[in-house]
Amino acid sequence: MRKVVVCSHVQPVDILKELLAVYPQLSVVFCDEYKNLSNYMGEAEMLITGFCNPEVVTAAPRLKWIQALIAGVDTYPLMEIKQRDIILTNGRGIHRIHMAEYIIWAMITMARNLHVFMRNQQDKKWERNQPQGEISGATVGILGLGEIGQETATKAKAMGMYVIGLKKNKADIQDVDEIFTYQEMAEVFKRSDYIINLLPYTPQTDKIVNRKYFDLMKPGACYVNVGRGKTVNEEDLIEALKTKKIRAMVSDVFYQEPLDRENPLWELDNVVITPHICGENTKYLEKAADLIRHNLDVYLTGQGKMRNLVNLDAGY
């Protein structure tokens, strides 16, 4: 029997139990908590998980393939995985719909100043003089045009927005009006009414978004971060929000998580904070099932091509 270990904080895991039950050649073990994962890895050949650290890999001398249930694998021990020639596939595409919906909600929230009304409600304050804008006709700049970025572009275009985006290499992408490279990122900040940060975290993107770019933003421009908090210089971000260089921000990710109670972001009236839940979804494992089934079939038969293979040098 070939052992596969499954560890997911997402429920219901019964979806994965049903999926794996049809493979008689597998011995399937479910781990309830990530902190105990290393204890299950001794004989494991395959791992399906939302978390993986060096201890997990070290504890698994027979490990050949990891299927990550998340898209961003910057917290995974990529060097160890590469040195061991372990295959790593990620969850790219699982989040496409629900994260794009969050982004559209965030832009509408800031266009209509709903973040102000939410605070006013807590104070039982009836104030009608907040400007009521719209996202139609506005320019959205999407930093990162992967699956989520492309879905966001489609939804934004349907809402009447002009879509520009940032990509390592230029290419024609449906519903994106203009594409800029990393060397041209300043142009995206200059021209956008809404900046959407979907950048992965790598050594090259560490604090890549900083004062230089915030200073280029249009008066009244807004910022959304659902990529990785470490792609942003948080001190520069806080200063830009305090001075209203950024009119408003919705952020789901932060440089350190959980966000410290003493962090000034909690107190700023132009900030909406969500606790890294943008990628969560009640149908998450349903969406993941097809990807896992496909990759498992390819791995077990040696026929076909796995989806979402991670470039371990690039980090995504």
- Which pair of structure tokens corresponds to residue 47? 């791992």
Per-residue model confidence (pLDDT) at position 212: 98
Measured over the CA atoms of residue 147, residue 13, residue 304 and residue 316, the dihedral's sign is positive
Of the candidates 134, 184, 257, 286, the residue annotated as catalytic is 257
98-139 pLDDT, tens per residue? 999 999 999 999 999 999 999 999 999 999 999 999 999 999
Task: Please write the tens of the pLDDT for every residue from 78-99.
Answer: 999 999 999 999 999 999 999 9
- Tokens representing residue 2 in the block: 């070939």
Query: Look-up: residue for tokens 């796995």?
Result: 306
How many angstroms separate the CA atoms of 252 and 2, rounded?
38
- What percentage of the chain has pLDDT greater than the value 90? 97
- CB-based contact 289:18 (threshold 8 Å): no
pLDDT in tens, 263-283: 999 999 999 999 999 999 999
pLDDT tens for 43-75 read: 999 999 999 999 999 999 999 999 999 999 999
Cis peptide before 12 (omega within 30 of 0): yes
87-89 and 26-31 as β-strands: parallel, antiparallel, unpaired?
A: unpaired
Q: Please confirm, yes or no, whether 228 is among the known catalytic residues.
A: yes
Q: What is the pTM of this model?
A: 0.93
Phi, psi (deg, nearest 5) at residue 163:
-110, 125
Query: What letter does residue 309 receive in the DSSP assignment?
Result: B
For the chain, the straight-line distance linking the first and the last C-alpha, in angstroms and rounded, comes to 31
Per 3-state DSSP, the chain is made up of helix, strand and coil in percentages (nearest 5) of 35, 15, 50
Do 148 and 96 contact (CB within 8 A), yes or no? yes
Q: Given strand 2-7, what is the order of strands in its sheet?
A: 26-31, 2-7, 46-49, 65-68, 87-89
φ, ψ of residue 95 to 5 degrees: the values are -90, 0
276 is catalytic: yes
The amino acid at 129:
N
**In which band, very low, low, confident or very high, does the pLDDT at 10 lie, cut at 50, 70 and 90?**
confident
The helix-helix angle for 114-122 and 96-111 (nearest 10°) equals 70
Q: Are 3 and 9 in contact (CB under 8 A)?
A: no
Task: Let me know: does 133 contact 153? Beta carbons within 8 Å.
Answer: no
In the annotation, is 2 catalytic?
no
Task: Give φ, ψ of 253 to 5 degrees.
Answer: -135, 150
What domains are there in the chain, each with its CATH number?
Answer: 2-94+282-301 (3.40.50.720), 96-273 (3.40.50.720)
Distance, C-alpha 273 to centroid of its chain: 15
Nearest alpha-carbon partner for 30 in 216, 257, 44, 101: 44
Give the strand order in the sheet containing 248-251.
Answer: 178-180, 162-166, 139-143, 194-197, 222-225, 248-251, 271-273
DSSP H helices, 59-206, are 78-83, 96-111, 114-122, 147-158, 185-191
Residue of 276, 293, 294, 307 marked active site: 276
